[in-house]
């Protein structure tokens, strides 16, 4: 006789019990999930950027710097901000392709550590309350990051065109409204090891900046049901309006080219010989576009044109 015993993981059970009892709201119109192929493409691009960024910092700080990617996820901007400390260095960047704003965030003491290395110091950071950077420190940090952010274009070249430039530096995440609070963003988390001292950094890019070109290339429709209904109504209204817009229709013969002196010397009763054969139909035109061919005739006491052929045009 055999007895089976089930072993339970007490630590995991305790973790489950610590989860909040209230359910989290989920907006199905804006699903915060990345497709597997999109997530993998972003991970490879951010890993390339991490390697380039580590090389840039090593050459500028003259100490060994390693940058590794911890993860990439799509969350709301409000959730991204709530994860940041009350005081941190937020580098606001302008995405040149659009009017969107990206954010590169890292601790304030890390920024001061970089400044100390750049100015030839041993890499000492005083134990003091977080503070804003001075004008000279801001210039040094901006110059360092301008070269690093330029590598985003190379890292994302195979995914989407991305050109990011430093715009300003802020320090309180709660007062930085880079994008609407409910807007989806792509947040990448990095670990920086500077001379055996580990720190973290994040890079936030609006999701539409990265996903819209990918979805457009795949032919994926990203409209909601309400947007599709509005588009269908507008399309029907446009087609109905097109059928009621008055247009001027003309009938013309083959054009004749004459010299200006012949036009100036025209007199009453003079005959102009046209190069239009009698057997050739006339052109029925709207503007300069030929729509059909017709022959001259009459309808009662009025002249008329009978359509004998229609042009196949777009």
Q: Residue 11: pLDDT above 60? A: no
Average pLDDT over the chain, rounded to an integer: 82
Weakest mean pLDDT among 68-82, 146-160, 223-237: 223-237
> Nearest Cα to 66, choosing from 214, 162, 201, 235?
201
Can you give the pLDDT at residue 32?
A: 60
- Listed in sequence order, the residues at least 6 apart from 86 whose beta carbon sits closer than 8 Å to its beta carbon are 172, 173, 174
Read off the pLDDT band of 23 (50, 70, 90).
low
Give me the phi and psi of 20, to 5 degrees please: -65, 145
Give Cα 257 to chain centroid, integer Å: 52
pLDDT (mean) for 119-141 = 85
CB atoms under 10 Å from CB of 38, counted, come to: 20
Measured CA to CA, the distance from residue 90 to residue 183 in angstroms comes to 18
Q: Give SS3 for 298.
A: strand
Give me the phi and psi of 25, to 5 degrees please: -70, 140
pLDDT (mean) for 189-206 = 93
pLDDT (mean) for 156-171 = 89
pLDDT digits (tens, 9 = 90+) for 93-105: 998 878 889 999 9
Measured CA to CA, the distance from residue 135 to residue 114 in angstroms comes to 15
Question: Is residue 209 a contact partner of residue 97, using CB atoms and an 8 Å limit?
Answer: yes
Can you give the pLDDT at residue 171?
A: 93
The larger pLDDT score, comparing residue 227 to residue 313, is at 227
Q: Give SS3 for 255.
A: coil
The larger pLDDT score, comparing residue 154 to residue 264, is at 154
Q: Which residue bears the tokens 């119109």?
A: 29
pLDDT (mean) for 271-287 = 81
DSSP state of 25: P
How big is the chain by its Cα radius of gyration, in Å?
Answer: 34
CA distances from 22 to 14, 25, 32, 129, 268 (A): 17, 9, 19, 36, 95
Q: Residue 69: pLDDT above 90? A: yes
The larger pLDDT score, comparing residue 253 to residue 85, is at 85
Helix, strand, coil percent content, the chain, rounded in steps of 5: 35, 25, 40
Read off the pLDDT band of 70 (50, 70, 90).
very high
H helices present in the chain, as ranges: 10-17, 36-61, 77-82, 108-118, 135-155, 207-218, 225-242, 260-264
Q: Residue 201: pLDDT above 90? A: yes
pLDDT digits (tens, 9 = 90+) for 257-266: 888 888 788 8
Measured CA to CA, the distance from residue 279 to residue 263 in angstroms comes to 27
Question: Is residue 95 a contact partner of residue 208, using CB atoms and an 8 Å limit?
Answer: no
Measured CA to CA, the distance from residue 229 to residue 37 in angstroms comes to 29
How many angstroms separate the first and last alpha carbons of the chain? Answer: 84
Question: Is residue 187 a contact partner of residue 203, using CB atoms and an 8 Å limit?
Answer: yes
Flag whether the pTM goes above 0.85.
no
Q: Is 240 exposed, middle or buried (0-12, 13-18, 19+ CB in 10 A)?
A: exposed
* HSE-up (13 A, CA, CB side) for residue 42: 25
- Listed in sequence order, the residues at least 6 apart from 292 whose beta carbon sits closer than 8 Å to its beta carbon are 284, 307, 309, 310, 311
CA distances from 292 to 222, 245, 252, 309, 312 (A): 41, 19, 11, 6, 9
The larger pLDDT score, comparing residue 168 to residue 288, is at 168
Ordered by where they begin, the domains of the chain are 26-224 (3.40.1550.10), 247-310 (2.30.330.10)
């Amino acid at each position: 006789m055999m007895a089976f015993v089930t072993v339970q993981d007490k630590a995991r059970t305790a973790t489950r019990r610590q989860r909040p009892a209230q359910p989290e709201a989920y907006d199905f119109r804006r699903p915060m999930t990345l497709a597997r192929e999109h997530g993998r493409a972003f991970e490879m691009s951010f890993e390339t950027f991490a390697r380039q960024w580590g090389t840039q910092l090593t050459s500028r700080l003259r100490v060994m710097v390693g940058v590794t990617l911890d993860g990439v996820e799509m969350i709301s901007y409000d959730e991204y901000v709530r994860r940041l400390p009350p005081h941190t260095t937020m580098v606001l960047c302008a995405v040149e392709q659009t009017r969107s704003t990206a954010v590169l965030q890292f601790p304030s003491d890390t920024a001061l550590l970089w400044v100390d290395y750049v100015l030839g110091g041993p890499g000492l950071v005083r134990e003091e309350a977080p503070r804003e950077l001075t004008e000279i420190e801001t210039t040094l940090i901006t110059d360092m990051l301008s070269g690093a952010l330029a590598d985003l274009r190379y890292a994302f070249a195979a995914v989407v065109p991305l050109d990011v430039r430093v715009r300003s530096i802020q320090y309180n995440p709660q007062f930085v409204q880079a994008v609407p609070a409910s807007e989806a963003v792509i947040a990448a988390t990095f670990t920086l090891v500077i001379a055996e001292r580990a720190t973290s950094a994040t890079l936030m890019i609006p999701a539409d900046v990265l996903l819209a070109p990918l979805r457009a290339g795949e032919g994926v429709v990203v409209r909601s049901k309400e947007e599709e209904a509005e588009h269908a109504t507008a399309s029907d209204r446009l087609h109905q309006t097109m059928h009621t817009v008055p247009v001027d229709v003309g009938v013309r013969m083959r054009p004749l080219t004459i010299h200006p002196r012949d036009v100036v010397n025209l007199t009453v009763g003079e005959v102009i010989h046209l190069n239009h054969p009698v057997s050739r139909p006339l052109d029925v035109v709207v503007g300069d576009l030929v729509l059909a061919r017709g022959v001259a005739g009459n309808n009662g006491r009025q002249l008329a044109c009978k359509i004998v052929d229609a042009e196949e045009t777009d």
